[in-house]
Structures are given as structure tokens and as C-alpha cells.
Amino acid sequence: MHVTPPPVTRPVAAPAWWQVSGPGFAALIGLFALTAIYRFDGGSEIQRAFDLSGQSLLLIGLVAYLVGAALTVPAGLVLGPRFPTAVAISALVALFLGVLLAAFANDGTLLLAGRAFAGLGTGAAAGTTVALITKLRERRGVVTGLTAALAVLALLLGPVVGRLISEALGFRLVQLATIPFLLAALVVNAVIGIAGLTSAKRPVPPVPNGPPYP
């Protein structure tokens, strides 16, 4: 008599530590972009270029970015562990669009849209990074500490690098300077995605003490 073998299900594997680097890279670029428009004294070349008040700069430069990030962090936390590459690439596309809008903006409205799009990308990447770290089974402490240190460094480097570039060449080049890093992050996430698919296709070992196949 033919006996149909029970379906073999692959348990959901915990992410490897190196898988965090994909969305983590995207999140670091977003954190740098968050503070790169400011100087440590609170001023900004964008404020001078668009003749913005302090409140307008706060709304356009910071609030719009943080609101966009807050909207997509939950999506990163929920979808990130299951589809880390897809979420990370989507985040990078949003960041890329936000950077271009901010770089070529000729009024506050386009600048606001650019900052909001960049915030959307940063939030999705950051949520995915946090979700993957919490599911790690090995090297979680090391990855957490390294990621936190790099995040703080990105936030601190933003005003320094942004001021140096903007005072010499204008604020638009600060935005455009992130594009090579965004392209590099796309490549990194694509490679990690391919590696993840390859490991997922490995044959499943037989279930111990399971019924024999006919």
C-alpha cells in the first residue's frame, strides 16, 4: 500500500550575523543624512540658501525626517526578519529618491518631500536591523555593540562632514555625496540576498525516527 510521506517543513532559521550588515549599512547612511544638513551650532547651509526660519528648518529638516522614519519602523520590525533583502532594497530606493529631491530642491516643499522620503527609507532599514539583531542566536552582543557604535558615529559625522562640504561646495553636494554609498549598499544587499537564497535551497536532512519513504 502506498503511504504518502508527511510533508517535510524547514524550521525558520535564525539569521546569520552577517545578514545584519545589509539593512544596517542602509540605516547608517540614513542616520548620516539625518544630521548632515546641520552644523554643531544648530545652523544649516540649507537655512541660509532657502532663507528659512529656525522653526521652518526644524520642521523640514528634522520633523519630516523623523515622522517618515516613525511610519516605516514598524514595517521593518515585522517584515524585515522574513524579507530582509526586499525591505532593505526598498528602503534604499526611498533614500535615493529622498536624496535626489533634497539635492535638486528649489523650494521648501520639495525639500520637505525629500526629507520625508529619506526618513521612510531610514526607518524601514533601522527597523529591519533591530529585528534581525533580536533574532540572532550567536554574536548578538558583539553585533549589537558594533551597530550601536556605528550608528552614533554616523550621527556625529553628519554635521562635521556636512559642514565641511556645504561651506566649500554647497549643501546640494552633501546630499549627492551619499549616492555612491547608496549604490554600494544596494550591491551589498543584493549579494546577501543571493547568499541567503542559496543557503535556503540546501537539502533538508531526514527527520529522525520518521516514517520511511516508499
**Tens of each residue's pLDDT in the chain, 214 residues:** 455 555 544 445 677 888 899 999 999 999 999 998 887 776 788 878 788 887 888 888 899 999 999 999 999 999 988 999 999 999 999 999 999 999 998 888 899 999 999 999 999 999 999 999 999 888 888 999 999 999 999 999 988 888 888 878 888 888 888 999 999 999 999 998 888 777 666 554 554 555 554 4
- Compute the distance between CA of residue 167 and CA of residue 28 in angstroms, rounded to an integer: 23
In angstroms, the first-to-last Cα distance of the chain is 9
pLDDT of residue 128: 95
Domain boundaries, given as residue ranges, for the chain: 17-195
Task: Tell me if 124 sits within 8 A of 94, measured CB to CB.
Answer: yes
b/e per residue, 152-179, with b = 16+ CB within 10 A? eebeeebbeebbebbeeeebbebbbbbe
- Compute the distance between CA of residue 37 and CA of residue 199 in angstroms, rounded to an integer: 41
pLDDT of residue 50: 81
Backbone angles phi, psi at 4, to 5 degrees: -75, 120
b/e per residue, 90-108, with b = 16+ CB within 10 A? bbbebbbbbbbbbbebeeb
pLDDT of residue 8: 47
CB proximity list for 166: less than 8 A, separation 6 or greater: 45, 173, 174
Q: How many CA atoms lie within 13 A of 28 on its CB side?
A: 20
- Compute the distance between CA of residue 103 and CA of residue 25 in angstroms, rounded to an integer: 21
Map residue 135 onto helix, strand or coil.
coil
Query: At the topology level of CATH, where does 17-195 sit?
Result: Growth Hormone; Chain: A; (1.20.1250)
Work out the number of other CB atoms within 10 angstroms of the CB of residue 59: 16
Q: Where are the beta strands (DSSP E) in 120-176?
A: none
pLDDT of residue 2: 52
* Concatenated DSSP letters of 79-105: HTTTSHHHHHHHHHHHHHHHHHHHHT-
